[in-house]
Structure 1
Amino acid sequence: MHKSALLGLVMSLAALPLQAESLKTEKVTLDMQTLASGLNHPWAMQFLPDGSLLVTERAGSMRYISKTGVKSDVIQGLPAVHAQGQGGLLGLVLDPDFAKNQTIYFSFSEPRDGGVNATAVASAILDGQTLKQVKVIFRQAEAIDSNYHYGGRLVFSPSGELFITLGDRGSRRDGAQELSGHFGKVVKVNKDGTPAAGNPFADRADAKPDVWSYGHRNIQGAAVHPQTGVLWTHEHGPQGGDEINIPAAGKNYGWPVITYGEEYGGGVIGQKTKAGLEQPLHLWVPSIAPSGMSFYTGSQINGWQNNLLIGSLKFGQLVRLELTGDKVSHEERIRIGARIRDVQAGPDGSVYLLTDEDDGKLLRLSPQ
């Protein structure tokens, strides 16, 4: 077959209607389609101006997925990543001026000398199949020999500063209470990685000037509320005690002094409340293992407007939360049947999910 004819056949096949599974929810019945498969533990996605997606894979790859589900070759130019355990290529966000500067930001577990590693964030210019001018703009201060709790979600504030979520790395939980380091923190930086103006501890000699909030365990969901412009996050508890917070400047969210979870296999960790420490906005006991977070602002899925959507790794669910102001007024669990790593509301009004598997999938939920 002639090369041009073969290409035409491939593209026509890619555009064929996808098989859809009917997904009944409280508000509406949706079509769930597998738009793409064969992804290696995909972790994060962002929509590009043309409607295609940019996707990270934890093993250390980044690629495009077209609107019809066609996967590109791996994008070249990524730095080395420590792809072990929970580590690898993680969060992703576009520069607010991406249409002009083609700049992206991504988080990853960075290998360092001596067999240790830490969460890092880099910026790069996305030029077709190549990343150019790759620059690490942030490095977690403490590098250790651990494969756990990297955090890694990235989100821009409405005024253009970058929030970075950081885990306690598993074995250093007490560091979440120490302002002198980056364990268990949300940090807020400028695009070049310098501390953002107005950070709460900038004038303290015993604190990192980029720290925004602290006392977190492992934040793997972050989104800015579409109406208030305020950051919302969720984090993994231990055995029980996953929680949603609205991290405010300088506030202490308690880990590991307070938690609604317990040690794996049983055993008390701290207490549930303590004066001066923030209580979660919403929590899950038992844990759902939350990952990914997006506010739905489209009009196509009736009844979901301004709802908060969160993936569940443990139960293979999409969790839909109705909000009344800053309170959760209703929760719906929608069974997907696979570990959900990321959730994004698309520009077409559909909801897109990434499944965390060896044969990871991009799923699209759209109204029938």
Structure 2
Amino acid sequence: MHKPLMAGLLAFALANHAAARGEYQIETLTEGLQYPWALAFLPDGRMLVTERVGRLRMIEADGELRDEPIDGVPMGYQNTQAGLMHVALDPDFGTTPWVYLTLAYGKDSANNTRLIRGRLVEDRLEEVETLFDAHPAKAGGSHYGGRIAFLPDKTLVLTLGDGFDYREQAQNLDNHLGTLVRLTREGKAPEDNPFHGRTGMANEIYSYGHRNVQGIAYDRKNDRLLINEHGPKGGDEINLIEAGANYGWPLATFGLDYTGAQVSPFQTRPETVAPLLHWTPSIAPSALAIYEGSLFPDWQGDLFNAALVAKEVRRVRLIDGEVAEQETLFAELDERIRDVQVGPDGALYLLTDGPEGRLLKVTPAADPDSD
């Protein structure tokens, strides 16, 4: 067994014991959300939440959900996993109040992921524009990716999926299936993208060989971009992203097809980047956050992976690029976790997935010996 992984398994057991001591408390801030997907914090303490059914909702700082959704959000394609997905604020939101959204576009026979933005003016989006459409448009309603992370140069990286039935295309550099794309805030491909200007390759591609990336976070302290992605039957991954790198899908994977058939005889290949961590059986990672708050000093720099199937958040600590510790958190909720975010106040915020979704706030447990 790989030594860092063995150490991680030992620490995992110890961390579970620590969590059982009740070091945090969970508060329900907001109820009545319909399949909430992503959360963004406004500078004034309010929050924006997307609902997969096509609504962008405003939540007051005290957790009160406004009755009416934000006006001006275009309706996208709705089917199974398709709908309104991520929400992110412009890095200069205080002076340029752009809100970025991802949604599915098209119809049953031809659809994919779209990136749009609009200016938030009171309770509506204005000047809404489409910045990028992933191509080709394909049939089916699965694997859209849809998360956004901004880099220090204020470009953004958008995660995409392989469309489920088109997995071989994740190795094809002339389309966007199974890739991460890097874009300017106006939706253009930066000239320093790894394949920009190369014949037969999409200018926007930043990395490829992905299955369905639904978690992405930029680690400011260590200047690195991390993702998590869904495997098939097992083989979920955490990856450290390198510009231009091939992450293997479907040439190399630790997972099996849902039928139990082998996807590939290779778990790793010399020309592909191996994951930092893989999970079998699958936990279905749906979001990723890096803790940089002050309320939980022991969690500084740790990765928080929301999980749908496992109904938990998996905390992962990396030391020198190796997994040193894992911890299962919030399994007592017994709910699918769609998003995990670190708030400006240092609390963790969770969105539960479902027709009656909730926004939850995680803070340190009260000291029973305090006054």
Q: Same fold (TM over 0.5)?
A: yes
Offset of residue 325 of structure 1 = 2.9
CA distance in 2, matches of 1:27, 1:274: 42
Say whether 1:34 aligns with 2:28. Answer: yes
CA distance in 2, matches of 1:108, 1:277: 30
Mapping of residues 71-150 of structure 1, within 5 Å: 71-72=65-66, 73-111=68-106, 115-150=109-144
Say whether 1:305 aligns with 2:311. Answer: no
**Amino acid paired to 1:342:** D
Name which of 282, 286, 291 aligns with 1:291.
286
**Amino acid paired to 1:50:** D
Are the aligned partners of 1:186 and 1:211 in contact in 2 as well (CA < 8 Å)?
yes
Q: Tell me which residue corresponds to 1:196.
A: 190
**1:176 counterpart SS class:** helix
Q: Tell me which residue corresponds to 1:15.
A: none
Deviates more, 1:23-32 or 1:329-338: 23-32
Offset of residue 327 of structure 1 = 2.0
CA distance in 2, matches of 1:33, 1:358: 19
**1:206 counterpart SS class:** coil
Name which of 239, 242, 246 aligns with 2:240.
246
CA distance in 1, matches of 2:314, 2:341: 13
**2:258 counterpart SS class:** coil
Percent of residue pairs identical = 39
CA distance in 1, matches of 2:101, 2:69: 15
Q: Tell me which residue corresponds to 1:63.
A: 57
CA distance in 2, matches of 1:257, 1:351: 36
Are the aligned partners of 1:226 and 1:295 in contact in 2 as well (CA < 8 Å)?
no
- List per-residue Cα deviations over 1:16-71 (Å, max 9, x = no partner): xxxxxxx9716861110111011010000111101221110000000111121101
Q: Which has the higher contact order (CA 8 A, sep 6+)?
A: 2
Structure 1 residues 325 and 28 mapped into 2: Cα distance closer, same or farther (>3 Å)? farther
**Amino acid paired to 1:117:** N
Say whether 1:320 aligns with 2:315. Answer: yes
**1:107 counterpart SS class:** strand
4+ aligned runs moved over 2 Å, structure 1: none
Mapping of residues 209-228 of structure 1, within 5 Å: 209-228=203-222
Offset of residue 228 of structure 1 = 2.2
Offset of residue 82 of structure 1 = 1.1
Say whether 1:342 aligns with 2:339. Answer: yes
Offset of residue 362 of structure 1 = 0.2
Offset of residue 127 of structure 1 = 1.0
Are the aligned partners of 2:109 and 2:140 in contact in 1 as well (CA < 8 Å)?
no
**1:99 counterpart SS class:** coil
- List per-residue Cα deviations over 1:271-315 (Å, max 9, x = no partner): 212121111011101100001111111121231111111111001
Deviates more, 1:315-324 or 1:149-158: 315-324
- List per-residue Cα deviations over 1:159-191 (Å, max 9, x = no partner): 100100010010100000000000000000101
**1:288 counterpart SS class:** coil
**Amino acid paired to 1:149:** H
Structure 2 stretches lacking a partner, 5+ long: 1-16, 366-371
Q: Tell me which residue corresponds to 1:151.
A: 145
Over aligned residues, Cα RMSD in angstroms? Answer: 1.4
**Amino acid paired to 1:356:** D
- List per-residue Cα deviations over 1:206-249 (Å, max 9, x = no partner): 10011000000000000000212321101000000000111111
Q: Tell me which residue corresponds to 1:366.
A: 363
Name which of 163, 166, 179 aligns with 1:169.
163
Say whether 1:182 aligns with 2:176. Answer: yes
CA distance in 1, matches of 2:278, 2:190: 30
Q: Tell me which residue corresponds to 2:8.
A: none
CA distance in 1, matches of 2:267, 2:161: 20
- TM-score normalized by the length of structure 2: 0.91
- List per-residue Cα deviations over 1:83-124 (Å, max 9, x = no partner): 210010001111000011110111000125x84211000011
CA distance in 1, matches of 2:208, 2:134: 14
Q: Tell me which residue corresponds to 1:279.
A: 274
Structure 1 stretches lacking a partner, 5+ long: 1-22
- TM-score normalized by the length of structure 1: 0.91
**Amino acid paired to 1:359:** E
Name which of 35, 45, 54 aligns with 2:48.
54
CA distance in 2, matches of 1:110, 1:55: 20
Are the aligned partners of 2:29 and 2:361 in contact in 1 as well (CA < 8 Å)?
yes
Q: Tell me which residue corresponds to 1:260.
A: 254
**Amino acid paired to 1:363:** L
Are the aligned partners of 1:28 and 1:302 in contact in 2 as well (CA < 8 Å)?
no
Say whether 1:330 aligns with 2:325. Answer: yes
Deviates more, 1:233-242 or 1:74-83: 74-83
CA distance in 1, matches of 2:139, 2:268: 32
Are the aligned partners of 1:37 and 1:362 in contact in 2 as well (CA < 8 Å)?
yes
